[in-house]
Amino acid sequence: MAGNLGAPVAAGVYNVYTGELAGTVTPTAAPVGLEPPRVCAPCGRRMVVQGRPDGWWARCSRHGQVGSADLGARR
Ligand SMILES: [Zn+2]
């Protein structure tokens, strides 16, 4: 598993926006960096999402927190 990307978005099992199985549609780093993910990719749980002036973070109770800065989206 990619250590540099947050686990909640790196696994790609579930679509991080819709919560459906990702299937052939794997979210890439670019759209993930622009819009907060709402669903944890490895487990499908709905994450706590917080917007910030410089980006966002999202937290899964099992897989931890990921932020836009972690995905290289910081401008
Ligand atoms: Zn999770």
DSSP at 46: B
In the chain, which ranges are E strands? 48-52, 55-60, 64-67
pLDDT band at 2 (very low <50, low <70, confident <90, very high): very low
pLDDT for res 63: 94
- Dist. CA 28–CA 26, nearest whole Å: 6
Quote the ligand 1 centre to 1 CA distance (angstroms).
Answer: 14
Quote the ligand 1 centre to 7 CA distance (angstroms).
Answer: 8
CA 50 centroid distance within chain = 12
Quote the ligand 1 centre to 62 CA distance (angstroms).
Answer: 5
pLDDT for res 1: 43
The identity of residue 41, as a single letter, is: A
Inter-residue contact 70 to 8 (CB < 8 Å): no
pTM for the complete prediction? 0.67
Inter-residue contact 56 to 67 (CB < 8 Å): yes
pLDDT for res 17: 85
Convert the pLDDT of each residue in 17-75 to its tens digit: 888 887 655 555 545 567 888 999 999 999 999 988 888 999 999 999 998 888 765 55
